[in-house]
Structure formats: C-alpha cells, structure tokens
Structure 1
C-alpha cells in the first residue's frame, strides 16, 4: 500500500473562504510529528502547528481524496478507508480539521464522493476477507491436528523399539502438515508471513514441552543416566486445542468486525473490541486447561498446567498478531521464551564444569520451590503477558481489521 499521509492542505470540510490569511507564506503544510508503532513510521497531524487552508483551496476533502487515491479506489466500503487512514496516523482529532466528528465520518464522505465506474469489476477478488479470516476452515480441519496426535500417541504406546520411533516420526510429520494447513485457512490465517525464525522457535518450544522438563530434572540430579520419560499429555492437549483456538479466533474476528461497523470513533472501537479480545483469549485458556486435565488423566501423567497453559496462550497470541499484520512482536516473544528455556538447560549442564557450580543456582532455586515445570511457565508466561498487553493495543485498532493489499 502506498504511504498515506494526512492532507497538508485542508482544515475543514466546508469550502474555504478565499483570501483568508493564516499567517504562513505558503499555507501548504500541516505540521507533522513522527510516531513509531511496531516499527512503522506514522505521520500524524499536529494540532498546535496546523495552519488554515491555502488560499484558493475550495474543497479540502477532495484534495485528501486525491492524495489517497489508491486507498479510495481499492476500498470496498467506508470502513476500509477509515482503517487505512488510521493505519497511517489519521486520528479523530485530525478528522476534526476537515469538519468531521471522527475518522469514520470522514471516510464515509470520501467513499461516497469517490467516482467509480459502475461497469468496472469489484475492487477485490470476491469474496474479500479481512485479516484473520482467510478461506473458511471446515470443522474437521480444526479437529484434524488433535485427532492425528491422539492416534500417534496410541500407536506409539502400543508398540516398541524401531516401530515406535517410526510411528512417532510419521505422526509428528502428519500433525505438522495438518497444523500448517489449518494456519492457511480460517480465522488463524492471514496474508502476512511470519517473521524469520518464528517456526524454528515454535518447534523448539514444543520440543521442550515434550522433553525439556524431564531432561532438566535429570540434569539437576546428576543425570541423565539413561532415557527419561517424555511428557505426551501437554503435546496432545496443545494439538487438541487447535480446534478451540480456531473457534475463539473466529469469534474475535466476527465480533470485532461487527463492532467496527457500528463504532463511530476510533476510541469507541478500541473500547468495544478490547473486551472481545480478552473474552476470546480467556475462553481459549479455559478450554486448554480442561484439555490438559483430560489428557493428563487419560495418559496417567502430570498435566503441567502452568507450563503448557502458558505455551498455548503464547502461541495463540503470536498467531493472532501475525495474522493481523504484526509479526515482529510475536517473533521476539517466541525467541525470548525459547532462549530462556535453552539457557536454563545450558546453565544446569555447564555447572558441572570445574569452577562453574554457581551457574545452576538460579534454576535450582526455582525448581526447588516450584518444580521443573516452573521454568517454561515463567518463560512462556512472561512472554505471553507481554504479547497480551501488546495485542490489547494493536488488535483493537481499526487498521488491524482492514482488508490488506500488500504486506505491511
């Protein structure tokens, strides 16, 4: 999408009075102040330094439409224009300079006045989808990762030796393909690619959930002296949780889109979308904890509520942000959590070197107090909390729900 800036020539929607002097020589600039959000430079109007319209500028809204021609031409409704303007720093205060009460009202006039050829094809390929919707995902597709993971666990537990290993590897590949397909369709899909390294860190976090706690316990007691028991309950619960993740993300997308259509100001939309986001997140977390309890009971394992629950929350928030066009923060959060878990293992085994015994003291202290599961709980829980705060600020903006044309 081309860079959009607030119109430097207009301060009102009504025709300007000719000969009105603003005290500036050119009368062509609304002062701008640069602000950065998620690494993107946004140009916002500065009310303190905004002069009046240039003499002879009779229609400031038309000038704004010309400046944002591509946005208006591609828009399928006024909401998309409002989201596009908001994404590039136009606020309700800026809209007031065009004699409109908010950005939505300004966008309505721009959409209504933009000339369109009635015989021209629609601006977007039909059907058009907003971020986080993608193509509809069948219910079976949302259940497929969990069903495949359950079949893999049952098959692996009923065999031994090389057959068990072969079945485990095959099942893991099938579950991975199912998850990848799921992320390309439905409410967890989006046109925005994940940041570099995101997949690798996600795989590491899942591997740690499977093997990390057992290895850490063995390392703290002088081992490992042989194979240690993996934790299959967390992985099975996370795979089964793909279904509630899709449903909760779909609920958030649908309700947010409805709020976007009824809101009359950017602040109003943010205030109404925030409880929707928190409600969908809470609903998913409750479903995940229930699945952890169920899987732990069926498999006879400790369900690791804290660690696996924090990991599930982290993965859901990371995917929601990525699907809506904010991949940088999820990449940082996943990398930080994964590095923290890897560092905890590294310090435990490095403490066996001569003169390095103090390296394991922090991890030993934490595990003595709360157990080995406290390490992933702290690492993933902290990262998930930061992402949740970030999501309440970014996913409640109108621009997060705009129809994208180019990666942002």
Structure 2
C-alpha cells in the first residue's frame, strides 16, 4: 500500500485529487473519496468501474487521498518557479496559509510543508527563464547579468553621490559671486543644483538595496518632494505668516537638506543589512512565529542604527550650514527611510499613506494661519500659534513627520516580520 508522509483525510484535498485524476483514467469511483471524512471505510474498500456496464466490484484496499498533492496542484506555478523552499513558504503565507494550516497536512510548520512541495514538484520541464533564476539569486557575481550590475563598491559610491552633489551645489550657491549676483542668476544656479541632486538620487535608488523597480507609486514622489521643500522653506514660511519674518522671499534652511542627502548612504547600508539578516534568519527558522519573533528586534535595531548615523550627519552638516532644525530633520529622515524600506519589500501603499499624512499636517499649518486672518476666524490659527509659541517653528514638521514615522514603524514591525515580505 502506497503512503505519504504528509497525508491527511481532508475533504477539500480529496476533491482536488478527483479533479486532478478523473475516474475514467484512474479506475476509482471518486464519489467514495468525496465522503472520506464521514465514511473512512469507503476509502479502504474502494470500488472499481469496469466496462460499459459500470459493474462495481470490490477492489484492493487503498490509503486516504493525498492532501499535499492537491495543494501542489493548486500552487503548481509557485512551486515550479521557486528558487528554494523559502520562496514557496513565503508564497503560501501570502495566500493565507499559516503553521496551523500546515498542521492539517501533517506538518509541524509552513516551512516543512514548503520543503515537501519543493521536493515533489517535477523539475525536468523547467523553462530557460526559470533555470536561470537560481544563478541570478546566487549573487551579483553569478550569471551573465553580473556584468550589468555594479558591485558593492559601485553601490557605495552611488549612495554617497546625492550627499556630495547637494553639498557642492549649496557651497557654490554660497560663494561671493553668486551672493551679489542678480536674482535670475541665483535662481538658475539653484535650479542646476536641484537637478543635479535629483539625478544623483534617482541613480542611487535604481541600484543597490534601495532599488524598488516597479513598486513605487507616483504619489510617493510627490509627497517626498513636498516634505523636502517644506524642510528647506517651511520654517521661513511659518515665521512670515505669523508676522515674525521678513518680507520678500523666504529664507532657505540648507543644513537639513545636506544632512538628509548624506543620510542616503547609511540608509542603503541599513536596508542591505536588514535584508541579508532577515533572509538568513528566514533560512534558520523552524516556523513563522519563530521568524517573526526574530525579525521584529532586527528591524528595530536597524532603525536605531540609522537614527544614530543620521543624527551624526545632521550635526556635522550644521557645522558648515548652521541650522536649528535637528529634530524635524531626524523625524523626516526616519519617515523617508521607513517608507522606502516598505516600498522595497512590497508595501508601497502603506508608504504613500504615511508620507501623505505628514504632508497633510504640514500643509494644514500655513492654511490655518492664513484662514485665521479672516474676520471672526482667528480661532483657526490658535492651535498652530500655540504649538509654534511653545516649541518653535520646527514643531509642526517635527510633530507631522514624527507621528507619521511612528505609524509606519508600527506597520513595518508587523508587515516586515512576515516571510512573504522577503521572498523577492
């Protein structure tokens, strides 16, 4: 009698086995397998269909239907394209299967079930594309595509490029010839500097651990530009609206921009560290709960390391470009880092929601100040004036970005502790 090490009398799996093996082909009456849960003796005393007269004869005893086989048919494409059992486990979890579900298939956890599925799927008919996937997964130096991607040294240089270009652009903007130049010349020089920083940042985000090809949504770019613009001009705008600033153009706070641009390098390193350690922990875990319990402190530790590195860079940038927006800049950097980390691991909608919430709060502050100037509407500006009067002009972006960052951190702690977030 043929048995399987992970068999279980599950009606759903038996039905799936009927669809995979028609009665005419296998010679077994599938109606008896459909009632395996209520009448197990029907599986032991099967009936054979023989000839056009449909004469039923007793047959030899046969074991219960194979539920893993039904699951394999249901997720055949996932099993055939998987590079390793970990990818199958992540895919099964994404479809809603848990360790408790794996117990129904006589397995201790989802990883054990994935190992059997990976072993039982035939590999002889793999296409060229699927055969090349293990070579691509082996690392940047494996396969013919290795020459098209820069190595670790190239990724490190790209991560340093935005900070270098931003510092150079602001240094040129602060030179004496441009300070005494006319407004048009200064505006053109500023536009060239902004374009250079944007190009450098785009190159950095298309390579290395911050790459999220095909996952970024357009709203994320819009919210990010708003947040960076507010970090540069938001305090001057608020001071002018509250009557404490000078007339004319708003003064730019350059220090936070330089610190955030320099922070791209530690952000890339921390994202790479989290991805590598998470994949390694995924391979050594025996269950989804064990992996999640190890992934949460790993994420919190990586975020803490990034906060320390970003704070140090902002302090150094403040020595060259003096500013008092340390706390708002740190909050903005954490928010952008968590948003990018979620996008890289397949959660762009959550990242866009967090960035959009911060933008809404920052946009509401000047809007309330302007509305408070209307007759009888002074109460609208009272909350903003109270916050700014108590903690300064940087309180609004600090509260907006800090609250959004806490929300994304809570979401990332749950989302990035799933195996499906590390299958790519």
Classify 1:307/1:271 alpha carbon distance in 2 versus 1 (closer, same or farther; 3 Å): same
CA distance in 1, matches of 2:269, 2:37: 49
| Correspondence for 2:87 | 80
- Which residue of 2 is the match for residue 91 of structure 1? 98
Q: Confirm whether residue 195 of structure 1 aligns to residue 204 of structure 2.
A: no
**1:221: Cα distance to partner?**
1.6
Q: Shift in Å at residue 135 of structure 1? A: 7.0
In the TM superposition, residue 99 of structure 1 has moved relative to its aligned partner by 0.7
Corresponding residue for 2:49?
none
- Give the 3 Å change call, closer, same or farther, for CA 332–265 of structure 1 in structure 2: same
Contact 2:291–2:417 (Cα < 8 Å) also in 1: yes
Alpha-carbon distance in 2 for matches of 1:25, 1:88:
16
Paired position in structure 2 for 1:284: 306
Give 5+ residue unaligned stretches, structure 2: 17-35, 44-63, 140-148
Q: TM-score, normalised by structure 1?
A: 0.83
Superimposed CA distance per residue, residues 181-226 of structure 1 (whole angstroms, 9 cap, x where no aligned partner): 2111111112442234111111001000000011101211265522
Shift of 1:253: 0.5
Aligned length: 363
Structure 1 residues 76, 219: CA separation in 2 closer, same or farther (over 3 Å shift)? same
Q: Which residue of 2 aligns with 1:373?
A: 394
Q: CA deviation at 1:229?
A: 1.9
1:299 counterpart (321, 329, 341): 321
Check conservation: 1:341, 1:376, Cα contact below 8 A. yes
* Number of the residue aligned with 2:373: 352
TM-score normalised by the chain length of structure 2: 0.80
Contact 1:156–1:165 (Cα < 8 Å) also in 2: no
Q: Is the 8 A contact 1:192 1:322 kept in 2?
A: no
For the Cα contact (< 8 Å) 1:192–1:325, is it kept in 2?
no
- Give the RMSD, CA atoms, in angstroms: 2.5
Task: For 1:169-208, list aligned pairs within 5 A.
Answer: 169-208=191-230
Provide the residue aligned with 1:106 in structure 2.
Answer: 113
- Larger Rg: 1 or 2? 2
Residue 342 of structure 1, CA deviation = 0.7
Query: What pairs with 1:9-28 in structure 2 (closer than 5 Å)?
Result: 13-15=5-7, 28=15
Deviation at 1:14, TM superposition (A): 3.9
Alignment match, 2:189: 167
Residue of structure 2 in register with 1:229 after alignment:
251
User: Deviations along 1:38-87, whole A, 9 cap, x unmatched?
Assistant: xxxxxxxxxxxx96899655321111111110000100100000000011
d(CA) in 1 for partners of 2:12, 2:335? 54
SS for the counterpart of 1:89 is coil
Q: Contact 1:27/1:52 (CA < 8 Å) preserved in 2?
A: no
Distance 1:51 1:210, change over 3 A: farther
Return the match for 1:156 from 173, 191, 207. 173
Cα distance per residue 1:291-347 (max 9 Å; x no partner): 111111112332x12111111000010011011111111111111110110110111
Q: Does 2:315 correspond to 1:308?
A: no
Structure 2 equivalent of residue 238 of structure 1: 260
Residue 36 of structure 1 is matched in structure 2 by none
How far apart, CA to CA, are the structure 2 residues paired with 1:220 and 1:182? 39
Residue 88 of structure 1, CA deviation = 1.1
**Alignment check: 8 A CA contact 2:79 2:121 kept:** yes
2:363 aligns with one of 342, 352, 356: 342
Distance 1:127 1:354, change over 3 A: same
Q: Give the 3-state SS of the residue equivalent to 1:127 in structure 2.
A: helix
| More helix per residue | 2
- In structure 2, the residue matched to 1:210 is 232
Q: Give the match's secondary structure for 1:76.
A: coil
C-alpha contact (below 8 Å) 2:14/2:66 kept by paired residues: no
Q: Deviations over 1:368-403 (max 9, x none)?
A: 110010100000000000000000000111000012
Quote the offset at 1:358 in angstroms.
1.3
Higher relative contact order (CA 8 A, sep 6+): 1
Aligned mates of 1:113, 1:26 — CA distance in 2: 16
Give the Cα separation in 2 of the matches to 1:86 and 1:151.
Answer: 47
Given the superposition, is the C-alpha separation of residues 25 and 400 from structure 1 closer, same or farther in structure 2, using an over 3 Å criterion? closer
Alpha-carbon offset, residue 276 of structure 1: 1.2
Is 1:67 the counterpart of 2:62? The answer is: no
CA apart distance, 1:128: 3.1
2:257 & 2:104 partners in 1: Cα distance? Answer: 54
**C-alpha distance in 2 between matches for 1:53 and 1:101:** 27
Contact 2:13 2:71 in 1 (8 A): no
